A = this chain, B = another copy of it.
């Protein structure tokens, strides 16, 4: 980033303002979602004039996309599970998923995506593309079974719900449960969604 600028302008390349804006934007999107977050609010939080936000990022939509560039690839969530072997698949994936939410910077980004995706088509498309490309795609390829796409979305549904209840709704006791406990509780679910017999459950109705 600083190397790209070279020599120009006021403390070129390292103003700090750009990063402050990005951080404030990510936090605002995470807290309020795309619609409620305002450029003026982000600018104030960053100690900067609102016009500067647009000067750097062009528009609110572009700022949103810039603020939500994931620092980690979600693909490794599944890849780590594959490495651990088929029996550990569910547990390792759940653990990796939960640990990915631990760093505040990541959590804030994921919360922003989740919150915004509920009412913003752009955000929802981002999540869908991301999941399909980085998570569901690898799962589907690796499993090599015909109903792999359904299995992948089932896993996705459990993870999305887990994230919402734990991090956004903060419903107890799930919100405060330890990662170990959740791995024990949810790991077998994911394990079964990926490798188990989906049609063999007890029929109801």
Chain B residues within 8 Å of A92, by CB? 204-205
Please, could you name 15 A-B residue pairs with CB atoms under 8 Å apart, sorted by A?
Answer: A32-B119, A33-B118, A91-B202, A115-B118, A115-B119, A149-B173, A157-B161, A157-B174, A164-B164, A183-B203, A184-B203, A185-B193, A185-B198, A187-B201, A189-B193
> Which residues of chain A from 106 to 140 have any CB-CB distance to chain B below 8 Å in the complex?
114-115, 117-119, 124, 127-128, 131
Segment among A19-27, A50-58, A71-79, A82-90 that sits at the interface with chain B: A82-90
Say yes or no: B174 contacts A153, CB within 8 Å: yes
Please, which residues of chain B bring their CB within 8 A of the CB of A117?
Answer: 169
Chain A: number of interface residues, binned into ranges = 35 or more
**What 6 A-B pairs come out closest when comparing CB atoms?**
A91-B204, A161-B161, A153-B174, A188-B201, A33-B119, A157-B161
Known contacts A149-B173, A154-B186, A160-B164; 20 further A-B pairs (Cβ under 8 A): A32-B119, A33-B118, A88-B204, A93-B204, A95-B204, A117-B169, A119-B119, A150-B173, A153-B172, A154-B174, A157-B165, A158-B158, A164-B164, A181-B198, A183-B204, A184-B201, A187-B202, A188-B201, A189-B193, A191-B202
Task: Tell me the minimal C-beta distance from A33 to chain B in angstroms.
Answer: 4
